[in-house]
A and B are shown apart, each in its own frame.
Chain A
Amino acid sequence: QAVVTQEPSLTVSPGGTVTLTCGSSTGAVTSGHYPYWFQQKPGQAPRTLIFDVGNRHSWTPDRFSGSLLGDKAALTLSGAQPEDEAEYYCFLSFSDTRRVFGGGTKLTVL
């Protein structure tokens, strides 16, 4: 089964920019993996930030953007705010069967 990798933790300064990445043990991540990015704050259910590479949800702040960067999916936060401190998970689709989450990135805004 494919393994999806994310940075375990990252720190960004308020107002700064940070990029989270999502890689696959099977090779390059492409649009065919339909990458999703979810945000989860402590004690809350996750919510969708980005779907299908770079589409924002209606509630997703413009400072979040999704893309393919090299052989990975990427979530870039530009102008970090204290409320962006959370766990971020990527989610990839493999063929027409399995779906796999990354291990999550704990983002600290400090």
Chain B
Amino acid sequence: EVQLLQSGGGLVQPGGSLRLSCEPSELTFKNYWMHWVRQAPGKGLVWVARFRADGTGTSYADSVKGRFTISRDNAKSTLYLQMSSLTSDDTAAYYCIGTGPRSYWGQGSLVIVSS
């Protein structure tokens, strides 16, 4: 069964940086668009960024553009979200999702931005 195993997350000070990782098992990157989404406490889901299945392009929500970078290491079969200039508004659970022939979710990574 496909699993998306996430790592990273934690407590970071405002203005700081953090990197999240997402490692799919038994999922071929080239067949899946990979996304990061987030959910602030008690709120709904918000799309953050995506990476095309063929690896040719990325796209970002306006709220994170210029601060977050989605990337993929095909050799390691790992998806990343590099986050910088973090503010309290970025506090949320972050999930990676693969969409393609099927659709799978990671278990989530909690990011808390606080001094």
Contacts and interface: CB of A to CB of B under 8 A. Distances in A.
Q: Are A and B bound to each other?
A: yes
Interface of A: 1, 34, 36, 38, 40, 45-48, 51, 57-58, 87, 89, 91, 96-104
17 contacts: A1-B62, A36-B103, A38-B105, A45-B106, A45-B108, A47-B105, A51-B99, A57-B103, A89-B45, A96-B57, A97-B59, A98-B47, A98-B61, A99-B50, A101-B44, A102-B44, A104-B44
Interface residues of B, number: 20
By Cβ-Cβ distance, the 10 closest A-B pairs, closest first, are A48-B103, A99-B47, A101-B45, A97-B59, A104-B44, A51-B103, A45-B108, A103-B44, A89-B45, A45-B105
A87 B102 CA distance: 21
Given A51-B103, A97-B59, A98-B59, 7 more contacts: A40-B45, A47-B105, A51-B99, A99-B35, A101-B37, A101-B45, A104-B44
A45 B95 contact: yes
B11 interface: no
Interface of B: 35, 37, 44-47, 50, 57, 59, 61-62, 95, 99, 102-108
Most buried by B among A45, A51, A58, A101: A45
Contacts of A45: 95, 105-108
B104 A48 contact: yes
